[in-house]
Amino acid sequence: DARVTQTPRHKVTEMGQEVTMRCQPILGHNTVFWYRQTMMQGLELLAYFRNRAPLDDSGMPKDRFSAEMPDATLATLKIQPSEPRDSAVYFCASGLFWGLAGELFFGEGSRLTVL
């Protein structure tokens, strides 16, 4: 059963530490999204890639966040340095889009707590 895999599922770290979250999209999907979910803001789009190229990262704090797709099977979201306000659940989602709206398949999320 194809699914989006995210690691780690849970991460507790101290302020100032680097955090890297990883996502393995569903094989064959050409688009990967990163979302952040908090009680206050709901689901926020951070960045997304099509065919590994970044299309939009306007939702990310540029000074501390970075997103990459080193290859088609791996997307990463890095926070350096982390801050308590970054505490949230980070979701990766992938989909196959060819000019029409496909559907998003979400991973189970990475719950980040920054102390």
Partner 1 sequence: AQSVTQLGSHLSVSEGALVLLRCNYSSSVPPYLFWYVQYPNQGLQLLLKYTTGATLVKGINGFEAEFKKSETSFHLTKPSAHMSDAAEYFCAVSETGNQFYFGTGTSLTVIP
Q: What are the start-end ranges of the H helices in 14-69?
A: none
10 Å CB burial of residue 18 (0-12, 13-18, 19+) is: exposed
Smallest distance, partner 1 to C-beta of residue 103, A: 5
Nearest to partner 1 of 27, 100 (CB atom)? 100
In the complex with partner 1, the residue whose CB is nearer, 82 or 109, is: 109
CB of 99: closest distance to partner 1 in angstroms? 7
Q: How far is the CB of 78 from partner 1 (least distance, A)?
A: 20
| Nearer to partner 1 (CB atom), residue 53 or residue 63 | 53
Site of interaction with partner 1 (CB under 8 A): 4, 31, 33, 42-43, 45, 48, 50, 55-56, 91, 93, 95, 97, 99-109
Strands 10-13 and 110-114: parallel
Tokens of 59: 């939702």
Report in angstroms how near the CB of residue 16 gets to partner 1 at its nearest. Answer: 27
For residue 85, the SS3 value is: helix
d(CA 68, CA 74): 8
